[in-house]
Amino acid sequence: MTLVTTAELTAVLSRLAINGEVPALDERRLMRALSLAQDLYGQRMHHSGVRVLDHALVTLEALAPFHPDEESVIAVLLHHALDNGAITLTRLQEEFGPAVRALVSNVHLLSHVTLRARRSRIEDLRIMLLSVSDDVRTVLITLCDRAAILRMIDDIPEEERRTVCQDVLQLFAPVAARLGIYALKHELENHAFPVMYPLDGERIAEQIRQFDEEKGRFLPQAAEELRGFFRARDMDAEIEWRSKEIYSIFLKMQEKAITHIRDLFDLYALRVIVESEAECYQVLGLLHQLGRPVAHRFKDYIAFPKPNGYQSLHTTILQLPGTPSDAFVEVQIRTRNMHRESQYGIAAHWAYKEGVTTEAMHNAQLKKMLLSHESVAGTNTHPYADHIFVLTPKGEIVELPEGATPLDFAFTVHTDLGLAFSAARVNGSIVPLSYNLENGDVVEIQKQSPPRPSTRWMQMLKMASSRAKLKRYLAALDRPRLVDHGRQLLNEELRKHHLSPLDTALTILKVCDGEVLSMQQREDLLMKVGQGAEKPSSFFHRLEALHGVVVEEEQRKQRTGRLQRKDNAIVVEGSVPMPTRYAKCCAPEAEPRGKIGGVINRMGTVMVHRDKCKMYRQSSSERRIGVKWR
């Protein structure tokens, strides 16, 4: 393994420094991770146009404000380690433990979630980003990876640049917003928007420039006025100011169908940060005395937080000191804790390492976030509750049900791959057929030629579609025997109708359902009969060659049906199934019907008479049999 110098390690740690303070981490462990990264990456280039190791270091810079723990730092350094099968997850776990293994595996998976060739709705892909791991660090590192790419967006070819930015605006930035990580959300959007919408970006930027010239850059002065106002009242209030993010302006203009930024109420904003909730409401009252509040522009997100946990008081005010008289200024009022969570969202507690923070707490927060989304969306379960996502060696995502095996994976990728299955490597290690795949597994299938699928596989396959593919193949192997058996069954049916058996050309089957069949298609029909999937008699009405037989058969059934309807009206003594006929001499079936009796004639048919009929009374008592109306 490459030896890492102290200077190289110091350079890495400097990227994690906050206000000049370097976090206390196990330097020996970090040196091992950096050495391994150098060995694995070498001079390999990332698609953003820089070396893979340099990209990992820029990702580390993006993660630094969140005060990452040791496992996260190592995972960032090695989050491209699984590319091209450079290392196995087993070795990663041996070197750095299960936490690093899980982070690297899931970040590797999520880095492949894009809009390209997607079959799922965008919203489902966003939920997938959230649901693949219950560890917030996985999503956070993935978002920082995208931020690192965008920081070098100008070095990426134009076509690839647009694809990356489309993914960011439609997938990754909304996920950051859902988790309340607005610091990353704004960075992602600000880099991606000008690439995707250059003309809109220029138009809005020009409107902002003209508006600033007209109104003047008044926000710094207004912030200073407010500081003095609260200082005079012995209130410890921190004042910040900001202009609305350009992408947020774009979305708001589209939503409101407006064409100029002057129609926006929240183009400019001041933020007042205090210690307690009570002070928030006290500040609100003072501000409403200091300026003129705009009706219907007040929102209390402290009493009623947003689903992602965001809390603040929002109010819009005119005529604040230091602002033009006609300038709308949105003022956000929050505590320091609320401000921290508005920047870091669900990662806020982890980032600042509060004493009560535990991994279980982070997991509970992430699950709560997912549940809050589901309730807003009106669903009780999210679409990936029972699904996992694994990767092919080329990095393609394959969606499978929970409990799926490598054999299911092979049949899902392609039927031929499943049939040729010999063995499977998961994360670089050979696994048994019954192995249950997990999120983020990298699965490689080894093939054998010729294919030798086994009926034993039926017990290993968890997916009905996989079992159906295997069943069809095994049936095809037995095709000659099944075709011959089908021929025998159909010949038996033909003999019942006094028809000639099938010839070698299967001429009777030539035209079926009005379509001329090839020899293979005719054998397919016989195979279905041999399998028991079709009854021989079911073909008669479909085959043109047997059309006359079918017509004659239907006429016979109609005649039989009429006779049966007569017979069905009479019940013979003892419920003996005997043919019956009505005697013409007394017409017992005519109305009004009365009591009847039966006489068995020499043909064995029961002749039905009225019981007062002269012919019935003169008949031999030995031939009489009791009958009655049903």
CATH number for 430: 3.10.20.30
The winner for highest mean pLDDT among 143-152, 511-520, 522-531, 568-577 is 143-152
Least confident range of 129-143, 483-497, 541-555, 599-613: 541-555
pLDDT tens for each residue of 226-264:
999 999 999 999 999 888 888 988 988 888 888 888 888
Residue 545 falls inside a structural domain: yes
Q: In what order do the strands lie in the sheet with 443-447?
A: 429-431, 421-426, 443-447
CB atoms closer than 10 angstroms to residue 355: 5
Digit-coded pLDDT (tens) for 489-508: 888 888 887 778 888 888 88
User: What is the per-residue pLDDT for 450?
Assistant: 86
32, 120: one domain: yes
> pLDDT tens digits for 300-358?
999 998 877 889 999 999 999 989 888 889 999 999 999 988 887 766 655 444 443 44
pLDDT on residue 329:
92
Determine the Cα angle at 350 with ends 345 and 353, to 5°: 130
Residue 598, domain extent: 569-629
pLDDT in tens, 166-221: 989 988 998 888 888 888 999 999 999 999 999 999 999 999 888 888 887 888 99
Q: Does residue 399 share a domain with residue 321? A: no
Q: CATH number of the domain at 123, please.
A: 1.10.3210.10
Q: How far apart are CA 316 and CA 296, in angstroms?
A: 9
Q: What is the pLDDT of residues 145-173, one digit of tens each?
A: 999 999 988 888 888 888 899 989 988 99
Mean pLDDT over all residues of the chain? 82
Residue 363 lies in a domain: no
Residues 539, 402 within the same domain:
no
Element (H, E) at 529: helix 519-531
Do 331 and 445 lie in a common domain? no
**Do residue 186 and residue 222 come from a single domain?**
no
Residues 459 and 494 reside in one and the same domain: no
Please indicate, yes or no, whether residues 451 and 587 belong to a single structural domain of this protein.
Answer: no
Q: Regarding predicted confidence, which is higher, 284 or 509?
A: 284
What is the spatial distance between Cα 539 and Cα 534, in angstroms, rounded to a whole number? 8
Residue 84 lies in a domain: yes
Question: For residue range 94-129, what is the model confidence (pLDDT) as tens digits?
Answer: 899 988 988 888 888 888 777 664 555 676 677 767
pLDDT of residue 276: 95
Residues 392-437 have pLDDT tens digits of 877 677 888 888 999 999 999 998 899 999 999 887 788 888 899 8
Position 361 scores a pLDDT of: 45
64 and 159 together in one domain? yes
Per-residue confidence (pLDDT) for residue 260, from 0 to 100: 86
Instruction: Mark which of 169, 196, 223 sits at the end of a domain.
Output: 196
Q: What is the pLDDT of residue 360?
A: 46
Our measurement of the distance from residue 603's CA atom to the centroid of its chain's CA atoms, rounded to an integer in Å, reads 74
User: Could you tell me the CATH number of the domain that includes residue 269?
Assistant: 3.30.460.10
pLDDT band with cut points at 50, 70 and 90 for residue 534:
confident
Q: Are residues 152 and 58 in the same domain?
A: yes
List the structure tokens of 460. 């290993």
Q: Are β-strands 624-625 and 596-600 bridged in parallel, bridged antiparallel, or unpaired? A: antiparallel
DSSP-H helix ranges across 324-389: 336-344, 348-352, 359-377
- Spatial neighbors of 330 by CB under 8 A, at least 6 apart, are 265, 266, 268, 269, 270, 297, 314, 315, 316
Instruction: Check pLDDT > 60 for residue 554.
Output: no
Statement to judge: residues 465 and 580 lie in one domain: no
- The pTM of the full predicted model, rounded to 2 decimals, is 0.65
Rounded mean pLDDT, 474-503? 83
How many domains does the chain contain in total? Answer: 5
Q: Which of 491, 515, 549 is the last residue of a domain?
A: 549
Q: Distances in Å between the alpha carbon of 140 and those of 110, 392, 603?
A: 11, 24, 93
Q: Is 270 a domain residue? A: yes
Which amino acid appears at position 77 of this protein?
L
Closest CA to 34 of 63, 16, 11: 11
Question: Is residue 367 one of the residues assigned to a domain?
Answer: no
Contact 629/571 with Cβ under 8 angstroms? yes
Nearest CA to 224 among 186, 279, 270, 282?
Answer: 270
Q: Point out the domain boundary residue: 196, 220, 253.
A: 196
Clarify whether residues 463 and 488 are in a common domain. Answer: no
The answer on 575 and 518 residing in a single domain is no
Using the predicted structure, report yes or no on whether residue 32 has a pLDDT greater than 50. Answer: yes
| pLDDT of 564 strictly over 50 | no
